[in-house]
């Protein structure tokens, strides 16, 4: 992907693709529309869906990959911008936010597969969780097993106690450490707080739980988190582009991110006002729960790993990934290990999915019970008009139902 140097955008919120967002969004509705990747007329419904969705919200960069029966049948990059330096390719990189949770959960499950740990082990047996001086850890922490950590039943509820993954300034002041804080600071601060409910008693989505899961991977494997994931999960299935993202410096081929919001940087003590995607939160601390950058092709290749047993994840491990938690179904679905799971009536399979969202990006990954998958990635998540980004989910289901003749080609070999 071609675009301007983004480093200066950390503090320059007065221009370019990030700043002045409401005006830019209005202009994008009539901006030049460009599509890269192989055109597949039989799948035109997907292209038109992406165009309608992006233009309605003024999204300048988007990407879609679709598989059918394990074959990559569509890989497209969409640019909705008059900026000639911005061209989204099928291989362009996007922050995928919480789609990263399926990667972290799979890494923990792989450690269990290799006999390095048990999913029933309490996290306190694996990590030296210590409260700040003068505070005491909640004794219920000893009941937080890896199962509960990964299924979001560990006892943390961000609707009650603010998500510590985004409390940088509070944590910095409480611990007396300068910003940018790190994951160890976050864990120490959170260990001094009471849990919001008894572990295993109910579901509450927890980014913090996945920070701890990432720390478990490093401690048990003896390797950096990203190195373990690449060596044991990504590399063996041919994913080479995925990387951990950064708050400021983009990777080669990474798209720029847009938001109508600004904030005070958490990357240092300068107090500078920054564009929300570039320092109003710390990407460096999201590594267990939301730090990966990838292409849509990478994400559907990743999803294909869960279609059948392999040396990477065997049948026992896959059954663990999609096992129903102890708290059971809620409105017909539950959270497995890094995936939302909805069993299909009649026992004919399951639909699994995850969304991801951080300031400056929105992502969706879906696996269907009848052999399809798709990943849609965007370089913004908020819109002045208030249109929902969650609308892309039903829209892509509708696009899939409009296909009357699925192609027989496989584009995966084009995108290693």
Average pLDDT on 63-75 reads 98
In a domain, 344, yes or no: yes
Pair 142, 215 in one domain: yes
Provide, rounded to the nearest whole percent, the portion of the chain with pLDDT above 90.
Answer: 88
Three state DSSP letters for 58-74: CCCEEEEEEEECCEEEE
Q: Tokens for 13, please give them.
A: 């919120």
Average pLDDT on 277-302 reads 97
- State the pLDDT at residue 387: 95
pLDDT digit string, tens, across residues 228-259: 999 999 999 999 999 999 999 899 999 999 99
Average pLDDT taken over every residue of the chain: 93
Pair 218, 233 in one domain: no
Nearest to 47 by CA among 411, 400, 412: 400
Nearest to 113 by CA among 319, 314, 321: 314
Pair 195, 232 in one domain: no
Pair 247, 393 in one domain: yes
Predicted confidence band of residue 265 (pLDDT cuts 50, 70, 90): very high
- State the pLDDT at residue 329: 86
The residue out of 223, 253, 277 marking a domain boundary is 223
Pair 313, 391 in one domain: yes
pLDDT of 27 strictly over 70: no
Count up the domains in the chain and report the number. Answer: 2
In a domain, 135, yes or no: yes
- State the pLDDT at residue 157: 98
Pair 408, 330 in one domain: yes
Pair 332, 400 in one domain: yes
To the question of pTM greater than 0.85 for the whole model, the response is yes
Q: Tokens for 2, please give them.
A: 């071609």
DSSP letters, 188-219, are: HHHHTSPPSS-TTSS----HHHHHHHHHHHHH
In a domain, 178, yes or no: yes
Predicted confidence band of residue 338 (pLDDT cuts 50, 70, 90): very high
- State the pLDDT at residue 15: 30
pLDDT of 68 strictly over 60: yes
| Whether the Cβ atoms of residue 27 and residue 110 lie closer than 8 Å to each other | no
- State the pLDDT at residue 29: 58
Nearest to 255 by CA among 57, 81, 65: 81
Beta strand segments in 85-223, E: 94-95
List the CATH number of the domain containing 180.
1.20.58
Average pLDDT on 29-40 reads 91
Measured CA distances, 342 to 242, 245, 324, 354, 414 (Å): 27, 30, 10, 12, 32
| CB contact burial 163-201 (16+ within 10 A = b; e otherwise) | bbbbbbeebbeebeeebbbebebbbbbbbbbebbbebbe
| Whether the Cβ atoms of residue 291 and residue 107 lie closer than 8 Å to each other | no
In a domain, 110, yes or no: no
pLDDT of 183 strictly over 70: yes
The residue out of 223, 255, 282 marking a domain boundary is 223
- State the pLDDT at residue 346: 79
Given the structure tokens 């998958």, which residue do they identify?
373
Half-sphere exposure of residue 265, counting CA atoms within 13 Å on the CB side? 20
Average pLDDT on 61-70 reads 98
Lowest mean pLDDT segment, chosen from 11-15, 303-307, 394-398, 411-415? 11-15
Predicted confidence band of residue 55 (pLDDT cuts 50, 70, 90): very high
Pair 274, 378 in one domain: yes
- State the pLDDT at residue 156: 98
List the CATH number of the domain containing 314.
3.40.710.10
In a domain, 312, yes or no: yes
In a domain, 240, yes or no: yes
pLDDT of 10 strictly over 70: no
- State the pLDDT at residue 348: 77
Pair 254, 342 in one domain: yes
- State the pLDDT at residue 359: 97
Pair 282, 377 in one domain: yes
pLDDT of 414 strictly over 80: yes
* Domain coverage including residue 183: 116-223
The residue out of 223, 238, 262 marking a domain boundary is 223
In a domain, 31, yes or no: yes
Query: Higher model confidence: residue 176 or residue 15?
Result: 176
Pair 407, 370 in one domain: yes
pLDDT of 416 strictly over 90: no
Pair 92, 233 in one domain: yes
In a domain, 109, yes or no: no
- Say how many C-beta atoms besides its own lie within 10 A of residue 15's C-beta: 11
Predicted confidence band of residue 9 (pLDDT cuts 50, 70, 90): very low
pLDDT of 3 strictly over 80: no
pLDDT digit string, tens, across residues 357-393: 999 999 999 999 999 999 999 999 987 778 999 999 9
């Amino acid at each position: 992907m071609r675009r301007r140097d983004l480093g200066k955008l950390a503090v320059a919120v007065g221009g370019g693709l990030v700043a002045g967002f409401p005006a830019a969004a209005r202009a994008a509705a009539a901006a030049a529309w460009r599509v890269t990747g192989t055109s597949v007329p039989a799948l035109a419904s997907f292209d038109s869906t992406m165009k309608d969705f992006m233009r309605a919200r003024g999204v300048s960069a988007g990407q879609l990959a679709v598989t059918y029966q394990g074959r990559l049948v569509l890989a497209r990059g969409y640019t909705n911008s008059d900026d000639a330096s911005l061209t989204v390719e099928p291989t362009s990189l996007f922050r995928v936010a919480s789609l990263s949770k399926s990667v972290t959960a799979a890494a923990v499950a792989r450690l269990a597969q290799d006999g390095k740990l048990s999913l029933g082990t309490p996290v306190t047996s694996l990590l030296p969780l210590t409260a700040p001086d003068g505070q005491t850890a909640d004794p219920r922490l000893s009941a937080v097993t890896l199962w509960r950590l990964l299924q979001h039943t560990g006892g943390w509820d961000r609707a009650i106690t603010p998500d510590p993954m985004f409390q940088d300034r509070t944590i910095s002041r409480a611990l007396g450490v300068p910003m940018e804080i790190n994951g160890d600071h976050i864990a120490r601060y959170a260990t001094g707080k009471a849990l919001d409910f008894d572990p295993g008693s109910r579901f509450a989505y927890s980014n913090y739980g996945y920070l701890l899961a990432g720390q478990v991977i490093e401690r048990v494997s003896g390797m950096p988190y990203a190195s373990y994931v690449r060596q044991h999960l990504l590399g063996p299935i041919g994913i080479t582009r995925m990387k951990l993202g950064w708050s400021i410096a983009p990777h080669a081929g990474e798209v720029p991110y847009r938001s109508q919001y600004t904030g005070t940087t958490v990357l240092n003590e300068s107090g500078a006002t920054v564009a929300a995607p570039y320092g109003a939160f710390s990407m460096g601390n999201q590594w267990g729960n939301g730090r990966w950058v990838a292409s849509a092709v990478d994400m559907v290749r990743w999803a294909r790993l869960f279609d059948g047993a392999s040396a990477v994840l065997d049948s026992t491990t896959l059954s663990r990934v999609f096992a129903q938690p102890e708290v059971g179904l809620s409105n017909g679905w539950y959270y497995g290990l890094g995936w939302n799971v909805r069993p299909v009536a009649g026992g004919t399979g399951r639909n699994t999915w995850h969304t991801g969202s951080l300031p400056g990006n929105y992502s969706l990954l879906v696996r269907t019970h009848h052999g399809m998958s798709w990943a849609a990635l965007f370089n913004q998540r908020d819109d002045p008009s208030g249109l929902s980004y969650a609308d892309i989910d039903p829209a892509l289901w509708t696009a899939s139902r409009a296909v009357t003749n699925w192609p027989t080609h496989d584009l995966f070999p084009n995108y290693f």
